[in-house]
Structure 1
Amino acid sequence: MADPIKVLQLLGSTPASTYTVFERDQVLTHGQLNELSLYLNQQERLTRTNLVGVGVISGLDLAVEDAAVTVGPGLGITTDGDLVIRPEAVRYTHSKPYDDKQPQYAPFFPDGKTINKMVELTDEADPLGTPLPIPLAKQDWVVVLLVETSELDPDLCIGENCDNLGRKAMTKIRLLLALSDDAKALRATFQPVSERARSLPDMLATRPQLNTAMSNTTLFMSRYRDACNEVLNALNEALKQFGQDFALELKSLFGSSPIEAWQLRLKEIFGQITIGNAQLIYGFFKDMVDTWNAMVDALLDTTAILLPGTSAFPKHLLLGSLQDPTALRTAFFPSVADTGAREAAARAGFLVRKLEAQMKCFFVPEDTVLRITPSMGEEVALEERAIPWYYSPDISTQWNYRLNKRQQSETNLGYRANDYGGSVRARNPLVSAIAGYEMFRVEGHLGGDVHKVREELKAQVAQYNLPFKVHAVLAHNLKKFIRIRPQIRYTDLHRFHYLLRQDVAVRLDEGQRFTSKFSENMQAAVQQKTIPDQLENVVSVTQVVQTARNNMETLSAKAQPALAKTRYTAYREETRQTAWADKLGDQLQMLGDVRSKLGEVARNDIVSPIDSLIQTTHPIWLNWLDDLIVARDDREDDKLLLSRFVGDHPSLDHLGGTWRGGTFVLLYDDNGKVVGDFALPYTYEEVDEPEPDEPVLQRPPLLRPPIKDITPIGIVRPIKLDLDSLVTSRVDSRFAVTSVDLDKKIATLNTTVDARLNLATSNVESLVKGAFSVKEATGAVALGGGKLMATGDSLLDELAQDVDYKRQRVQNLAELVGRTDLSADQRSKAQTLLSNAQGELGAAVGATAEHVVTTKTNTATGGAANVAAMLAQSTMLVTDSAASTKLTAKLGTLEVAATDQNQKVLIGGLKNIGAIRG
């Protein structure tokens, strides 16, 4: 039985290395000719496989229909060097058996005896063909292209008579269908670099956990050290695997495996972490991760095979599965001589060497020269960014593959461009166009004084028109260590404070002019005998008014220098030195006492400047505004602490610089030394503007005549003085007048008395309308022992005494709330007590007023008039909204119930005061 025909593999044996060199007239034998033919054939095939590559180069795509398979045009090379060319698509609709009667191809016989189950694709013209099954796409078949090369011997030998016609070599392209499990065994067994690189990990640079708990530099350092430690552990594991999977390549590059030395160097660098360089070393580890990932990418692109051999797919190519035409296809494995493959391999080798260069060239710099270098963000490869300052100059040639290949490494931008002989642009990167750079590295600042670093940075930003801002925060939770803050945070509170200062200044100025005029009027009245110089509770009217004038002039002179300042800080300094407002309350009380003492000889026709000054709370407002300004500054200072800043700006990140249009944030310790930096992707800066001088406010024409042209307090001649004069006159002339004359004088006296009584009523009504201050009311109703003047109604006296007690309590609490030495908590509690006391005072006023209405007490004369005045001034003190509203409602009810005119005037006045104050 004849041996079966086999598919020939021309590269299956050792390539021919000799052939016969023909000589002139030499007789050639078949062996010599076949030897030359084999040598040339093998050399051509070796050229294809080793200088071009193997596999499906392009095309030969499958298109699967319900009952047909189309193989498109394409090109491929088997590992035996067969060049497969399909110039056009061929559609197959039928199949026929493919068994061991065909030339035998060893890979189809996995056990050496039995052929895999397969059918051959054909068309309807083939008499042996049968239609393909429907639907074809659900069949578990894979299309296999077979380059069937065999030899056919056409000689017919009978006995010893044989015609030696030679054998014929034949090559036929067959399209076969094989089961998918069998086809998997026919796949290429190559493991190019790209296949091994798939198992290498994709490295991640752990981000430090920045949060509001970072209250000191130790916690700040620990967060970055923890992140570095995680990256270090991941790098060690990755390098270990790299050393195992790429041992041959590493040996080829370095002579021996450098992995162990690399791991020791990384451990050494990690051990150098301190507070001042934690971010810097973290930046190095991030660089290592970037280079590692770039290296893996380059290895994944390295699909070339060196000396692919012949056994992988010597005579066949897999074209895909009928269920998924893209699966189970023979890939193309280019030769190492291929341009793209050579580039990928060269780049991968460069990046492997760059890993080592980064570790060797890293050091902790001590430079103090501040430099800003244009760069790119992390969205581009590390090699396209500026070289950081923590690498020695030697790394410049191993930084950028493209520039290294062109021998232009000196054009790399970096902090040490001067040291590695950088180009003109590299040495002066900020003097040329910078629009193409998305970020700017800032280096040389660590360890420097934050004031100097900040000012130098701002100077360079201004000099080169750089598009970012500079800010500074403290790595501590104690505001006393803040070194960088604006000289003053000038706001509308300061402007309102200035407006109030001008208001108080005007009131003091008018008060001074008024007391001068009032003193002159009173002294003139004494000299003209219009009023006596001595009253029941005043030793000397002249002395009292002169003292008031002097005190007012002293107060005004002491306050005006501070109030005239156009800068807030100047006002605060002047106030601190002169303390003009410390005893302002006592001085105003003294003026109120003077007014009350002279109540018998003076009356208010309008509210005087003194009354206005006593009643206003604007001087207290100045202190309150000071407190608000201090509180606001305190809140703003909170934003300068790292723990608060992280919470306000969650996008905070360390980049070794900052983004275009962003903010470079300096981080300093409690000694004012820069220990780190951050970046914000937006502009943030607390502007430190100089304190402005507010304009001098011109006093506009007032809606009233000048103080010197009016007499706010009129002089009243005492009734007692008129009575005494009249009695003296009658005794002296008792024999010189007639009864008629006496009657006329008595009538005149009655008229005068009535007028004086009406005037007293007017004075009471003035009290009700709020003409006098609280202090005046106290003086008007109080006697030497502090008891109220008797009204003849014991219950009314007790009610009035209760009102007076609650009034004094409200006054005392109001003064307590106004003190500047209270803490916020103490002031809050005092304010609560004041509100409660005002409620009690309002209830006492309402009860007393109800008694007056019920008993129809005449409040125009006697002690009841003093009670009316006290009720009016007590109502003025009920400023709490709830208490005032309740009192006003009570008075409204009483006003309706009142029948006497004096009572209606009293209750109506009290209600109006309450409505205004509430």
Structure 2
Amino acid sequence: MNFIPVKLKEPKSSFNYFEDNQVLTAEQLNKVVQYFDYQERITRARLIGVGIMCGLHIVFERNAITVTKGVGVTSDGDMIVLEQDKTFISARILNDQKANYAPFQKLKDANGELRIWELTGAESPDDNESTPLGSFFDNRSRRPQDYVILAYLSQHLHDTDQCSSDECENKGLVHVSDLKFLALTKADYDLINDESACCGDAYFSLPEVSIPRVLLNERDNIFSYADFQAAYRKQIEVGGAALKEPLTFAVASARTLSACMMESGVIKNNPRLSTGFSTAVLTDRAGASVDLHAQLMNKVTSFTASNTILGIQYMYDCIKEVADAYYEYKEKLFELCHGCCYDAAAFPKHIALGLLVEDATVTPCKYRDCFIESPILNHKDDQLREAVMLFMRLLQMVQTFDIRTGARIPVRITPSKGIAGDLSTRAIPYYYNAASLFTNWNPQKTFRRREKTNLGYDADQYSNIDFIREPLKFNIDEHEFFRIEGHIGKTYDEAFRAINQLRQQFDIPFEITAVQLQRERRTIIPPKIRKKNWYDLLLEREKFGWTHRLDHVKDYSDRVVTTLPTADELTRPEFRKMYNTAKFQDPVQAKTNVETKKAEIQNNLTATKTMLAAFKPTADNEQPAPDFVSTHQQLTNISSSLSKSAKLLTETSLLSPVSTIGVLDHPYIIDWIGSIIVNTENKIKDGYVFSNFLKQNPSMMHNAGVCRGGTFVLVYDVQNGQRIIVGDFYLPYVAKEDLVDTEIDPVKVPVKPYLPIDVGLVKDFVKVPFLNEDILGIKERFDIFMKDEFTGVKGKLDGIGNMVNEVNKDVINVREGVAKNMETMANSYQKTFGTMTESYNSFLGNVVKFGDKGGTVAGGVDGLLGLNADSFANLTPDRINLVREKLKEITTRLR
């Protein structure tokens, strides 16, 4: 019995041509058959593919196993075709002595029997060696979920010669192919399965990963760069740790990819593959390889170890982008099964159909020979190259990450695709070495020889295309995001000016603002502060009004000095006689006091007017605002002293500018309006403190740039007196200029009684023409007169008070008398009424009721009420006279 070898391992490169009348040998004829058999096999296995092409699925019931119809190709190019579904109800130990299939030799037990069971159907009812499937799986050591089903093409050469002692029929050898379906455990299948480097389960072995977000809110108390860095440090460390397993598996899968490329002839068969940009080794079959995660964590440690290194947000961006790059690499491994020169001995005579009981936790092709197509079909060769390039990009990103800061780093704005798109479509960030990365950044562009069209901060290092080197000068309609880089570490003025200049120069659709980490208002620079225009209008009105009144005071003080008595007049005996008393001060001293106070008023007026002219209330002033109220009070005191002394020496009207200056309300209103303006600006400034701004704009995000139509937010930290840019965010909308409520707090305006200072004012002061005894006497007599008048008025007032008291007494007496008279009158009325009633009744009693019978009216008054008109008409004259007399008597009594 002859065993069938792996035929693709024995190439047949020639065969014999036949000639006329040639004697053919078996070898010559067999070469022809073998040659064409080899060509047919290699066509299937190399140009089409190997594995299950369709069908051949397993349906398991407790007592039966059904394999659906389908087609498959073994790694040796044999076709396995099942035209109809086939059901099996029993199993027996496989006897493979005829074929003696090499892979199965690993599965013999101590007795030399195979640990493989052949499935049999209803066509073998008398098979005593078979066990019904129901009984087969009743054995506790056999669980259906532990078994794999194979389609096995048992091939061998069968000798058909039947020889006796006399002769042989000489029929020759027959090639026998017998399709069988087998069951074996998963552990035994792993022993015979030679998984190809070009078709493994690398995609499913790569773990999932997601980077935690940096969630900031106003309660985090972020008021310095150290606080800001601490907020990012935690998530950077957590994200870096989360990437350990994914990066480790990515490196392992890269080793597999390099082996596949060598097997497929894509690269030279060399166990080591250089990255091409450093001395690092991408893969080593011996196991030594790049520790990608360790390199990444070294970068993380260098940034998180110090609170002074700027660019902590870029370190977080790198962690996120590494995760994005990892996922793009992982997706390229999905269904990356192809074989240019697939090993013919992998499964030369069998095909794994899968687990008897499907397990969702197991990758689809682990126990099923999925179809491994030729790399030219569906561009699987390009998919392999792209996967390798994406891994190279991942490696380069980690190894070349570096943040450049300083004045020499220019600020640039680079158009980019949106952050929701693939990393390959975005602009290359400035913290990577673009000169070495650009060829692997977007594999699809590289395949099309367009790698130099990748946008990036350092595009001038690898591209000579104008619209790539200076993209803002060309069409940007397809770009919805703008990377802004190079500003970290610069002062606020430098960064804001550079970004704003680019924004205006190229008409880029976004706004820009800035916020400060510290709460110190003095260093906050809100880009725009709007205050109500009528604040300024009211302030200027009050400043003008007070300045005008101060001019009146100056004019009055100038003129009042000219009305003072001269030195000769002050020496006259008559003048000094009046003042040389304890009641009045010395006149010379009074004049001196007026002149001194006048000079003080002049100085105070000049200083006050200067302060008014320069007064522009703003929260930016480092010096405290002028205290106009105190200045006003000081001026009032000086003016009062001047007015007091001047009145002893001059005659003026009742009111003068210096006497009315104390009731002006201008200083109070100026202070009030100034405080409103300052408080409003302070509220707006408080809105530009990072924590407050974040409270008003919780949608603030960081992606190293700004979206179209958004607001780019610079974050600066005050360090050594300078505002240093340490981070940035963006809002997906235009931020309001007034970020806080600027309504005026309820304040009661201090109102002073207003008196026009010109009322009763004599414009021309009249100096006393002649100071003599008569004038002094008049004044003295006037004082005596006023005193007498006051005494008289006081006496009269006292008399009036006594009269009022007497009147009060009379009122009380009258009230008592009236009460008594009312009581007497009431009694009199009551008595009179009784008498009247009695007389009336008597009168009525004498009235004769006229008719046939005479008589009186019964019932008195009541009876009278019963008389009718006819009764009165029948009265005699005598009776009428009697009635008249009685009525007179009643009337008299009533009076």
TM-score range, shorter chain: 0.5 to 0.7
1:44 to 22, 40, 44: 40
The 5-angstrom pairing of residues 339-378 of structure 1 reads 339-354=378-393, 369-378=410-419
Tell me what 1:461 maps to.
Answer: 503
* 1:35 corresponds to which of 31, 35, 42: 31
The answer for the alignment partner of 2:50 in structure 1 is: 54
Q: Is the 8 Å Cα contact of residues 20 and 32 (structure 1) preserved in structure 2?
A: yes
Structure having the higher Rg: 2
Structure 1 segment 880-895 matched on structure 2, within 5 A: none
The answer for the alignment partner of 1:100 in structure 2 is 95
Matched, 1:332 2:375: no
Is residue 382 from structure 1 mapped to residue 423 from structure 2 by the alignment?
yes
| 1:324 CA drift (Å) | 1.6
Q: CA deviation at 1:754?
A: 5.8
1: distance between equivalents of 2:200 and 2:79?
25
SS of residue paired to 2:471: coil
Following superposition, the deviation at residue 345 of structure 1 comes to 1.6
Aligned match of 2:457 = 415
TM-superposed CA distance for 1:66, in Å, is: 6.1
Instruction: Map Cα deviations across residues 839-879 of structure 1 (whole Å, 9 max, x no partner).
Output: xxxxxxxxxxxxxxxxxxxxxxxxxxxxxxxxxxxxxxxxx
The Cα shift of 1:342 comes to: 0.6
Match of 1:215 among 214, 224, 231: 224
Q: Residue 264 and residue 325 in structure 1: after superposition, are their counterparts in 2 closer, same or farther (change >3 A)?
A: closer
> Could you say if the C-alpha distance between residues 199 and 590 of structure 1 is closer, same or farther in structure 2, counting changes exceeding 3 Å?
same
Q: CA deviation at 1:238?
A: 7.9
Are 1:118 and 1:176, in contact at CA under 8 Å, matched by a contact in 2? yes
The answer for unaligned runs of 5 or more in structure 1 is: 525-532, 600-605, 690-701, 712-720, 731-745, 761-918
State the secondary structure of the residue aligned to 2:279.
helix
Q: Could you say if the C-alpha distance between residues 190 and 26 of structure 1 is closer, same or farther in structure 2, counting changes exceeding 3 Å?
A: same
Give the match for residue 478 of structure 2.
Answer: 436
What is the CA deviation profile of residues 357-415 of structure 1, one whole-angstrom value per residue up to 9, with x for unaligned ones?
66898887785544311113554343322234453546544432111111122322223
Distance 1:241 1:116 in 2: 33
1:75 pairs with 2:71: yes
Distance 1:299 1:723 in 2: 120
Look up the SS of the partner of 1:32 in the other structure: helix
Q: Tell me what 1:680 maps to.
A: 730
Which residue of structure 2 lines up, in the alignment, with residue 316 of structure 1? 350
Q: CA deviation at 1:123?
A: 5.2
Kindly state the Cα deviation for residue 31 of structure 1 after the two structures are TM-superposed. Answer: 2.5
CA distance 1:418–1:280, change in 2 (3 Å): farther
Q: Is the 8 A contact 2:75 2:342 kept in 1?
A: yes
Q: Which residue of 1 aligns with 2:154?
A: 148
Give the partner amino acid of 1:116. Answer: R
Shift in alpha-carbon separation, 1:749–1:304, aligned structure 2, 3 A: closer
Code of the aligned partner of 2:450: Q
State the Cα deviation string for residues 523-552 of structure 1 (Å, max 9, x = none): x9xxxxxxxx99997769999999999999
Structure 2 SS opposite 1:46: helix
Summarize the Cα distance change of 1:624–1:45 in structure 2 as closer, same or farther, 3 Å threshold. Answer: same
Evaluate the alpha carbon distance shift between residue 575 and residue 499 of structure 1 in structure 2; reply closer, same or farther with a 3 A threshold: farther
2:525 alignment partner, one of 470, 478, 485: 485
> For residue 115 of structure 1, what is the amino acid of its counterpart?
L
Say how many residue pairs are matched: 702
Q: Is the Cα contact below 8 Å between 2:213 and 2:235 reproduced in 1? A: no
Larger deviation: 361-370 or 77-86? 361-370
In 2, the alpha carbon distance for the partners of 1:399 and 1:571 equals 49
Q: Structure 1's 189 and 223: CA in aligned 2 closer, same or farther, altered over 3 A? A: closer
Aligned partners of 2:55, 2:392: CA distance in 1, in Å? Answer: 38
SS in 2 for 1:658: strand
How many Å apart are 1:572 and its aligned residue? 8.5
Q: Does 1:663 align with 2:659?
A: no
TM-score, with length taken from structure 2: 0.59
Residue 116 of structure 1 corresponds to which residue in structure 2? 115
CA contact (8 A) 2:6 2:348 kept: no
| Distance in 1 between residues matched to 2:785 and 2:485, nearest whole Å | 105
CA distance in structure 2 between the aligned counterparts of 1:609 and 1:74, rounded to whole angstroms: 116
Which residue of the partner structure matches residue 787 of structure 1?
none
Q: How do 1:169-208 and structure 2 match up within 5 A?
A: 169-179=175-185, 182-183=188-189, 185=191, 187-192=193-198, 194-195=200-201
Within 1, Cα distance between the matches of 2:43 and 2:234? 55
- The worse-fitting range, judged by mean Cα deviation, of 426-435 and 224-233 is 224-233
Q: Structure 1 residues 119, 198: closer, same or farther in 2, change over 3 A?
A: closer
Equivalent residue number for residue 448 of structure 2? 406
- Confirm or deny that 1:585 pairs with 2:633: yes
The change in CA–CA distance for 1:346 and 1:117 in structure 2 (over 3 A counts) is closer
Which runs of structure 2 are paired with 1:759-770 in the superposition (5 Å)?
none
CA contact (8 A) 2:99 2:154 kept: no
Q: Aligned equivalents of 1:318 and 1:418: distance in 2?
A: 54
Cα displacement (A) at 1:136: 9.4
- Following the alignment from structure 1 to structure 2, what is the Cα–Cα distance between the partners of residues 150 and 73? 24
Q: 1:161 to 1:477 in 2, by over 3 A?
A: same
1:827 aligns with none
Note closer, same or farther for the CA distance 1:69–1:34 as it changes in structure 2 (3 Å cut).
same
Q: Distance in 2 between matches of 1:461 and 1:123?
A: 82
Say if 2:85 is the partner of 1:90. yes
Give TM-score, length-normalised by structure 1. Answer: 0.58
Q: Give 2:279's aligned amino acid.
A: A
Question: Is the Cα–Cα contact under 8 Å of residues 657 and 679 in structure 1 kept in the other structure?
Answer: yes
Cα contact 1:516–1:549 (8 A) shared by 2? no
Structure 2 CA distance for aligned equivalents of residues 35 and 455 of structure 1: 84
Q: Which amino acid letter does the alignment assign opposite residue 714 of structure 2?
A: V
Match of 1:785 in 2: none
Evaluate the alpha carbon distance shift between residue 670 and residue 200 of structure 1 in structure 2; reply closer, same or farther with a 3 A threshold. Answer: farther
Select the residue among 257, 279, 289 that pairs with 1:261: 279
**SS state at 2:479 partner:** coil
Matches of residues 867-906 of structure 1 in structure 2 within 5 Å? none
Q: CA deviation at 1:318?
A: 2.5
SS of 1:157's partner is coil
Alignment of 1:321-720 (within 5 A): 321-324=355-358, 328-354=367-393, 369-389=410-430, 391=433, 393=435, 395-445=437-487, 450-472=492-514, 482=523, 485-486=525-526, 489-491=529-531, 499=538, 502=541, 568=617, 581-589=629-637, 619=667, 622-623=670-671, 655-660=703-708, 661-665=710-714, 667=716, 670=720, 672=722, 676-682=726-732, 687=737
Q: How does 1:738-887 map to 2 (within 5 A)?
A: 752-753=793-794
Contact 1:68/1:136 (CA < 8 Å) preserved in 2?
no
- Of 38-47 and 391-400, more deviation after overlay is shown by 391-400
Alpha-carbon separation, structure 2, partners of 1:63 and 1:485: 74
Contact kept, 8 Å, 1:663 with 1:683, in 2: the verdict is no
Where in structure 2 are there 5+ consecutive unaligned residues? Answer: 281-289, 564-577, 648-653, 740-751, 762-776, 802-895
- Give the alignment's Cα RMSD to 1 decimal: 6.5
**Alpha-carbon separation, structure 1, partners of 2:22 and 2:346:** 42
Q: Does the 8 Å CA contact 2:119/2:183 hold for their aligned counterparts?
A: yes
- Cα distance in 1 for residues equivalent to 2:415 and 2:328: 22
Distance 1:634 1:264, change over 3 A: farther
